[in-house]
Structure 1
């Protein structure tokens, strides 16, 4: 879980693969495999956001930049690079940024309400990254094989008052 929160996906996948190769873990192969799918779901957040934004080409979205809202008219999405236009006093200006640089709050808005276990996990991890532990707790119980671990983590991050 910590590796996913820190965006260290390869080490998380490697740990799961190593666990699958351990004889004592064979009875848990199904759960470990499910965890691997969850890690993959979280690691593909930039791709998912790119896909959503690609469907919004020509539309204007509002993102938080330096603590202020900035309206950006989307022009193109290439893999993880976003190109858009912003209105300035001197006219429109082209801006380029990486999907991974979009603030967590805006990533959550772009992804929308989660409907599947994997989407709830992604939302939970993004909320943890944003420090919104109480909201993350609401999703943690519905994150499949990682639910218990997420709930334990959240209990240490935001102990009950």
Structure 2
């Protein structure tokens, strides 16, 4: 009898801890989705100040050349904001506008780390393009992972690189 009770107790605790992990992931997914929607809606509405506040700011790592995010930026908040608005100016000069977006998938790497896949509809110089990219939440801020969109670096949190086309 004691053995059966002990087995049931272990089973209950195991299942409850699994449920807790799943609910924590679900909550984090929801936070990330709200962050993603706030960012992309702000870009589409040309509310760049609001979009800027959603982003994790990080320096471009020229050693690797791959643009993976580093731990923060050497720029001050004021310098980062000025640089971000220079990037936005490049987008405007290219007649780049975000017309729509859709979160298409959530991908998990290890049962804990995850990122969202986003499909973008962009208009540039009167032509429509469909781009795909990934976004993840890091320390409560958004990290945009460039994939298709050649202009993503002009609206993401990457700082401290040479602005050129």
The TM-score with structure 1 as length reference comes to 0.32
CA radius of gyration, larger in: 2
Task: Give the number of the structure whose residues are more often strand, by fraction.
Answer: 2
Tell me which of the two structures has the higher relative contact order, counting C-alpha pairs closer than 8 angstroms and 6 or more residues apart. 2
